[in-house]
Structures are given as C-alpha cells and as structure tokens.
Amino acid sequence: MTRATTTSRGYGASHQRMREKYKPLVESGQALCARCQEPIAPGALWELDHSDDRSEYIGPSHRTCNRRAGQAKATAARMAKAATTVRDW
C-alpha cells in the first residue's frame, strides 16, 4: 500500500512555508505548545498543529501533544461509530 503525498494529506508547500515561519521561534526556545501551553525546547520534535476541524493552524505543538490529540479524536470517532452499530447476536 502506498502512502498519499504530503500535499494530498494537507502538508504541501503552504504548510511547509508556515512551518518555516515558526521555526526560528521554536529553535530559540520561545515557542509555547498550542496544546499544552508548555515551552517547546530547542531541538525538541515539534509539528505545526491544525485546529481539530483542520480549518486553521493553531501554531507549533510538541509532536507528542499533536499526535495524542489526533489519536483521541480518532478514538472518539471510532467509539461513536461503534455505539451506533447494531449487532445481531
């Protein structure tokens, strides 16, 4: 199975330009995580985070904070779907 391109996943040129805009702030240690509001240490793994509905960027986030939020959203969606599934037992 091949993985979709970065552009098709929403991480194309526009996303890369915005990430470059935040990079000096993050590398200087002055950026706060958009999710947990804790500082992002220089050299730490970080991602340019979207709002939960992906309509806008909310700023840099620790990689773990961003991915934890995404996983929580995916889990909630699966649970909601499972709750509405009728099972014949």
Average pLDDT over residues 65-83: 87
Which residue type occupies 25? L
Look at residue 86 and tell me whether its pLDDT is greater than 80: no
> What's the pTM value of the predicted model, to 2 decimals?
0.77
Handedness of CA 21, 59, 23, 2 (dihedral sign): negative
Residue of 84 and 21 predicted with greater confidence: 21
Is residue 80 helix, strand or coil?
helix
DSSP type of residue 50: E
1-39: per-residue pLDDT in tens? 677 887 777 778 999 999 999 999 999 999 999 999 999
